[in-house]
C-alpha cells in the first residue's frame, strides 16, 4: 500500500501526549516512527491507569499506534551516541523535554543538525525555547488555565460551577496538531531547499492561537470574553436546551435557519419579529428569546425535536455520551473504532484517524508497541548493527 509519508523516518523522543500525538499522526500517514523510551520505565503514560489492557494503560494506547519502541538510556554515553547515529538516519526528530535537557545529555540540536543538515527537529515545550518562562515545566491543565481557555469554559459567573477545563487534554492535542502541520510544512520546504530546520511549538502559544474568534472578539470589540456555558458569544440560538426527557444542542447559524426553527417550534411570528429577525438583534435580545425557546422545547421529547429539526435542515443534535458515540450505527458505518493485535496477544481497540485519502490511505499497521519491542529490529534496519554490537549495548545498559 502506498502511503503519503512512506519514505519518512521519525525519531520520536517525546512522551505523554502532545509529542506522541504528533508522532502517531505522522505514523498514520505512513512514516516509520521509532519511539525512544527509557529502559524499564518507558513513556510516563504507560503507568497512567486504570483502565488497563494487559500491562498497558488506555491513556498510553490512545496516542502511540503505528510506532516501534526502542529503549535507550540517554544518561549513558553509549545511549547518547546511539541517538546521534539514529538522528543521522532520521528525517524528523520530535522531542518535548524541558528546555536545555537535550544539551545536558550531549544531544545539542545544533550539533544534530550539523551532523544531518536535512534533519527537522520539532521541539514541543510548555512556553517555548526562548523567553523568561522557557525553563518552566507545564501540563495541559495549567496551560488551559493560564492560556485563557478556562476563563471561557464553564457556567456563567451568575451560576454555580466556576471555570472548567475541557474534558480531554486539548492543549496537548492541539499542540500536537500544530506540530504535525509544522513538520509537514518543513518537509515540503526541505524538498526544495534540501535543508532541515528547527521548529518551536509551545503549548501556551498554541493554546492562545486556537482561541480563534474569542481572541478577535476581544481585539476588535475590546470586551473580555466570559464563560457562557454552552451558549455562543456570536450566534443565537446556539446552545444546549432541555426537552421533556433530556437535552439537545441547537446550532442556528443563519437568519433563514432561525425562521425555519421558529416555524418548527410553533412560534413563526418570532421569525420576522424585529427583535429577533437577524443575528445582531438576537444577540441583543438573547435572554428573552432563549427563555421562550426553552419553554417550547420542554413540551416534547428529544427524539421528536431532532426529527423535526432534521426535516427542516436546522442544525441540531443529541448530547451523546462516549459509549453511544463509539457504538452507534454511525460509528459502525464510518469504522470509527478498529481493532489490532499486539505482540502480547491482546486485541487493542483504536479510534480511527478522521482523514480519508483516496490515493494514499491512512494505515493501521502497528498497534501501540510494548516497551522496547523493536529495539533490535530498528538497530539492525536503521544502523546495520550486528547481534554482537546490540548485545554489547545491552550489557552496558545503553539500551
Residue 384 CA to residue 313 CA, distance in Å, equals 60
In whole angstroms, give the CA distance from residue 45 to residue 51. 12
Let me know: does 55 contact 371? Beta carbons within 8 Å.
no
Closest to 163 measured CA to CA, from 144, 182, 143? 144
Residue 114: CB atoms within 10 A of its CB come to 10
How far is C-alpha 187 from the geometric centre of its chain's CA atoms? 21
Across the chain, which distance is largest between two alpha carbons, in Å? 84
The 3-state DSSP class for residue 120 equals strand
DSSP character at residue 98? P
Q: Give the DSSP H or E segment for 205.
A: helix 203-209
Whether residue 307 contacts residue 297, with contact meaning beta carbons closer than 8 Å, is answered with: no
Catalytic residue among 172, 245, 273, 396: 172
Is residue 157 flagged as an active site residue? no
Cis peptide bond upstream of 237, omega within 30: yes
Cα→Cα distances 140→126, 175, 176, 203, 273, Å: 9, 10, 12, 8, 45
What percent of the chain is helix, strand and coil (3-state, nearest 5)? 40, 15, 45
Angle at 69 between CA 178 and CA 102, to 5 degrees: 60
Half-sphere exposure of 304 (CA within 13 A, CB side): 13
Phi, psi for residue 248 in degrees, rounded to 5 = -150, 165
β-bridge pairing 247-251 and 316-318 = antiparallel
Closest CA to 200 of 170, 171, 178, 169: 178
Which residues participate in catalysis according to the annotation? Answer: 172
Amino acid at each position: 500500500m502506498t502511503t503519503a509519508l512512506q519514505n519518512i523516518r521519525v525519531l520520536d523522543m517525546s512522551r505523554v501526549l502532545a509529542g506522541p500525538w504528533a508522532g502517531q499522526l505522522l505514523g498514520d500517514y505512513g512514516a516509520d516512527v521509532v519511539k525512544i523510551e527509557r529502559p524499564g520505565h518507558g513513556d510516563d503514560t504507560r503507568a497512567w491507569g486504570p483502565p488497563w489492557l494487559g500491562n498497558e494503560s488506555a491513556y498510553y494506547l490512545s496516542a502511540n499506534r503505528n510506532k516501534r519502541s526502542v529503549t535507550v538510556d540517554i544518561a549513558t554515553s553509549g545511549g547518547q551516541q546511539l541517538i546521534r547515529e539514529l538522528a543521522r538516519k532520521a528525517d524528523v526528530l520530535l522531542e518535548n523535554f524541558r528546555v536545555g535537557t537535550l544539551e545536558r545529555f550531549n544531544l545539542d540540536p545544533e550539533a544534530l543538525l550539523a551532523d544531518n543538515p536535512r534533519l527537522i527537529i520539532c521541539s514541543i515545550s510548555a512556553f517555548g525555547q526562548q523567553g523568561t518562562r522557557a525553563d518552566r515545566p507545564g501540563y495541559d491543565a495549567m496551560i488551559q488555565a493560564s492560556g485563557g481557555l478556562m476563563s471561557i469554559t464553564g457556567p456563567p459567573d451568575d451560576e454555580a460551577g466556576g471555570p472548567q477545563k475541557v474534558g480531554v487534554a486539548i492543549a496537548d492535542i492541539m499542540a500536537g496538531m500544530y506540530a504535525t502541520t509544522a513538520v509537514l510544512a518543513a518537509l515540503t520546504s526541505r524538498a526544495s531547499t534540501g535543508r532541515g530546520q528547527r521548529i518551536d511549538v509551545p503549548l501556551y502559544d498554541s493554546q492562545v492561537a486556537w482561541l480563534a474568534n474569542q481572541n478577535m472578539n476581544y481585539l476588535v470589540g475590546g470586551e473580555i470574553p466570559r464563560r457562557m456555558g454552552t451558549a455562543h458569544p456570536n450566534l443565537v440560538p446556539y446552545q444546549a436546551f432541555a426537552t421533556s426527557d433530556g437535552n439537545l444542542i441547537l446550532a442556528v447559524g443563519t437568519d433563514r435557519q432561525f425562521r425555519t426553527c421558529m416555524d418548527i417550534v410553533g412560534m413563526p411570528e418570532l421569525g420576522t419579529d424585529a427583535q429577533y429577525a437577524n443575528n445582531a438583534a438576537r444577540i441583543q435580545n438573547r435572554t428573552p428569546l432563549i427563555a421562550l425557546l426553552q419553554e417550547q422545547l420542554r413540551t416534547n421529547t428529544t427524539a421528536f425535536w431532532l426529527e423535526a429539526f432534521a426535516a427542516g435542515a436546522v442544525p441540531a443534535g443529541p448530547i451523546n455520551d462516549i459509549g453511544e458515540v463509539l457504538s452507534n450505527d454511525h460509528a459502525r458505518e464510518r469504522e470509527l473504532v478498529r481493532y489490532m493485535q499486539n505482540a502480547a496477544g491482546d486485541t487493542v481497540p483504536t479510534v480511527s484517524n478522521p482523514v480519508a485519502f483516496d490515493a494514499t490511505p491512512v494505515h493501521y499497521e502497528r498497534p501501540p508497541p510494548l516497551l522496547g519491542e523493536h529495539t533490535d529490529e530498528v538497530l539492525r534496519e536503521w544502523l546495520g548493527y550486528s547481534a554482537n554490537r546490540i548485545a554489547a549495548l545491552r550489557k552496558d545498559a545503553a539500551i
